[in-house]
Structure 1
Amino acid sequence: MNDGTGAGAPAEGGTMNDRLARVTLMRLAEPDDAVMGRLVAACGPEAAVAQVREGRLDPGIVRWFESVRHRSAAGPGETAERLGRILAAWRARLAEADPVRDLAEGERAGARLIVPGDSEWPTQLDDLGESRPYALWLRGEANLRFSCVRSVAIVGSRAATPYGTHVAAEFGAGLSERGHGVVSGGAYGVDGAAHRGALACDAPTVAVLACGADITYPSAHHDLFAAVRGQGLLVSECPMGVRPTRPRFLVRNRLIAALARGTVVVEAAVRSGALNTAGHAAALNRLLAAVPGPVTSDTSAGCHRLIRQGMAACVTTPAEMAELVGVIGDELAPEPRGPVVPRDLLGPQTRRVLEAVPARTGTGPATIAVAAGVDIETVLSCLGALAAAGYVERVPRGWRLRPGGSADRT
């Protein structure tokens, strides 16, 4: 049903006024605005918009802001001036906001709006508290909530090395094969490789953007984003047409960490934005892992620091990451083992006797028994079995290892 405004009917997440208010908030304040987050949490989206329109904030918000500024040693006059500037900026944006138009633009772009309370809203975003997004724009065929129930965020350097992109693609594919959704940021390097790995397995993948859902950034990822829309989702907390900025990249990282059950940092320098995502994951009590790289590589120095400081588990395979985020007892990764060699199949006493047999000059069973720490009968029995298996041979002076025999293939 359409009400004639182009906005469409309200969904299960709230009334139409609630949805219009949330779309308006997306225009008024930047994502993760602490003051607006506190205002919405305390009063609700409709009342928040109304207070901005009236130029009057709830006294509780004013007292909270004063307490925060007091801790930063700001004086009362400076506090009031600062809050006044924030409110003035919101009111200036409010004059240009048109939520009905924004909803229509989203519909034309093939996007849909979800808000807290909708069936598709991932409830794990509520862990963000007052930093929870006001609403989300989605473009794609998948269901966001279902795609993130069992998911892993794969993040890392934009300027990834061939090693980093290879590992990211392997993790994207390997986790997808194990039924885990892949969440990342759609950027160059590790992000793009992780998305491609998931897409190669025909699995849904979620790209969280730092711009409007109708903006392709980076532009070279036009085809990648088209594939993500067909198989997964593009997600944004920004209105249509909004361009990315450096602060928005850092702010959106909290969504990447919150959506996923765990985060793995594949490759990151010590000043990488991926470490910002890792910090959000740790603050949200999400599982955090990092992939080690060459100790000579600056692009792995951030991963090594996370591991060394005990913030992140060291993982080297998708199976290990799946075990980390899986239910206890499920999806256990196999322990890495070397190849099985013939010597591994020998019993413990037989191995001790074999170790006591010299390689070049022969020696008698009594000497071998002393060296092996066993009795003479055991030595004679083991030597017969070892000779039959090709490990040792009898020579005029006793026994020795057979040259080129099984004992050399260890």
Structure 2
Amino acid sequence: MALTRVTEPGDQLVGRWLAEYGAEEVARALRRDGTRLDGTTEQRWEGLRLRARDAPEPEADLAAVEQLGGRFLCPGDGEWPGQLDDLGGARPVGLWVRGAPSLRFWALRSVAVVGARACTDYGVHVASTLGAGLAERGWTVVSGAAYGVDGAAHRGALAVGGATVGVLACGVDVTYPPGHGRLIRRIGEQGLLVAELPPGAHPTRNRFVLRNRVIAALTRGTVVVEAELRSGSLVTARRARELGRTVMGVPGAVTSGLSAGVHQLLRLEGQLVTDPDEVIELVGRMGELAPERSGPALPRDVLPPDAVRVLEAMPARNAVTAQKLAREAGTPSELTLVRLHELRSLGFVERKGDHWWLARAAQPARRHPIG
């Protein structure tokens, strides 16, 4: 807990110290005896020690979070999500968590839905639909609680009473962005809020970028909904790919700059998805397949091939004899007559005397001339 006050998220040097010396030894060196650990300059060591001297006691931070119904997790705890260990030296020192559910269990079947903050109505619709659909199917929706796509994904999951996790670039007691105060409270009450930073810590640009590695590592896959060519969402997708997670993107209009980054992602490394079932097919268990898509079934789809040939040889507007139709269709006269009677019983054609014509319901729509 003390080290979350001293080090910035993703500091690989501190991560190496933790692996070599353990958290207690690192904290003791920084806060008490001043013995400089290897691999750092005197200037940086003094900066870390200054932070350590000015930091409040960890017991005060824990009390503040516990008052909100939260707790602190560190590697080795029963609730620690093991997939975060894939980050190696950039693994979080620990996580401040607000909310009742188990982070470890919720993360086992989780998907990140991320995208542009200044997204379009299309992006909001897609993100909320994905959030709701994934949550209804028992998946946890993970995002960053930001404006735009993040907020829409969280709201979609919350709307159906599903599981959602907000990974913050600030303390779990800080409302950021300010306009999402109500949403962040709902996530903390109905889902989980997670942060590497201690209570009261405020976000910075760099902390947003570093937060994305936690979103990528925590989940089975990352879906990007609207992103420009330079986007934090694409950073999350790249980290997910580096960690061996599934990277997905939802296509948009080719004329939209907000979809340019997604389209580049799909061209180079991502998989195209359009709905929750397609996402689950890629990240779920074997056999969790998306329904096969097809166009609407038409009555003529069930006709035998020679009946289709006879029907397609019928003139669009005029009547024709069976003999002439046989020549056009390339079928024997006797078979043509049999198929015409079958087509008549099915409502495709009509007859008067020796002449046959298309029934009104089977006639193609009139085309209006251009000009």
1:196 deviates by 0.6
Alignment correspondent of 1:356: 313
Post-superposition CA distance 1:237-294 (Å, at most 9, x none): 1011100101000000011111111110011111111111111111111111100111
1:406 deviates by 3.0
Whether the 8 Å CA contact 1:183–1:208 is kept in 2: the answer is yes
SS at match of 1:405: helix
Q: Distance in 2 between matches of 1:34 and 1:242?
A: 20
Which of residues 13, 25, 49 in structure 1 aligns to 2:27? Answer: 49
Post-superposition CA distance 1:9-46 (Å, at most 9, x none): xxxxxxxxxxxxxx121111100012111221222212
Alignment correspondent of 2:345: 388
Q: Distance in 1 between matches of 2:329 and 2:291?
A: 34
Q: Distance in 1 between matches of 2:212 and 2:58?
A: 26
Residue identity opposite 2:361 in structure 1: G
Residue identity opposite 2:283 in structure 1: V
Alignment correspondent of 1:32: 10
Whether the 8 Å CA contact 1:295–1:301 is kept in 2: the answer is yes
Residue identity opposite 1:400 in structure 2: W
Residue identity opposite 1:334 in structure 2: P
Q: Do residues 278 (structure 1) and 237 (structure 2) align? A: yes
Alignment correspondent of 1:19: none
Tell me the matched-pair count: 363
Alignment correspondent of 1:18: none
Q: Distance in 1 between matches of 2:196 and 2:273?
A: 31
Which of residues 231, 235, 244 in structure 1 aligns to 2:203? Answer: 244
Alignment correspondent of 1:378: 335
Whether the 8 Å CA contact 1:158–1:189 is kept in 2: the answer is yes
Alignment correspondent of 1:317: 275
The TM-score, its normalising length taken from structure 2, stands at: 0.93
Which of residues 139, 149, 155 in structure 2 aligns to 1:196? Answer: 155
Whether the 8 Å CA contact 2:101–2:191 is kept in 1: the answer is yes
SS at match of 2:46: helix
1:381 deviates by 1.1
Distance change (3 Å), C-alpha of 1:367 and 1:42: farther
Alignment correspondent of 2:368: none
SS at match of 2:135: helix
Q: Do residues 212 (structure 1) and 171 (structure 2) align? A: yes
Alignment correspondent of 1:266: 225
Q: Distance in 1 between matches of 2:43 and 2:321?
A: 96
Gaps of 5+ in 2: 366-371
Post-superposition CA distance 1:162-218 (Å, at most 9, x none): 111111110000001111010000011111111110011111210000000110101
Residue identity opposite 1:204 in structure 2: A
Post-superposition CA distance 1:296-350 (Å, at most 9, x none): 11111111111111x11111111111211111212x2112222222222322221
Alignment correspondent of 2:78: 119
1:56 deviates by 3.8
SS at match of 1:155: strand
SS at match of 1:295: coil
Q: Distance in 1 between matches of 2:9 and 2:93?
A: 8
Gaps of 5+ in 1: 1-22, 63-81
Q: Do residues 90 (structure 1) and 48 (structure 2) align? A: yes
Whether the 8 Å CA contact 2:249–2:270 is kept in 1: the answer is yes
Q: Distance in 2 between matches of 1:323 and 1:51?
A: 49
The TM-score, its normalising length taken from structure 1, stands at: 0.84
Post-superposition CA distance 1:144-168 (Å, at most 9, x none): 1111111110101111111111111
Which of residues 287, 292, 299 in structure 2 aligns to 1:335? Answer: 292
Q: Percent of pairs identical after alignment? A: 51
Q: Distance in 2 between matches of 1:166 and 1:245?
A: 29
Q: How does 1:177-188 map to 2 (within 5 A)?
A: 177-188=136-147
Q: Distance in 1 between matches of 2:135 and 2:330?
A: 53
Residue identity opposite 1:167 in structure 2: V
Q: How does 1:52-201 map to 2 (within 5 A)?
A: 52-53=30-31, 54-58=33-37, 61-62=38-39, 83-97=41-55, 98-201=57-160
Distance change (3 Å), C-alpha of 1:158 and 1:221: same
SS at match of 1:113: strand
Alignment correspondent of 2:194: 235
Q: Distance in 1 between matches of 2:128 and 2:361?
A: 43
Whether the 8 Å CA contact 2:13–2:89 is kept in 1: the answer is no
1:87 deviates by 1.1
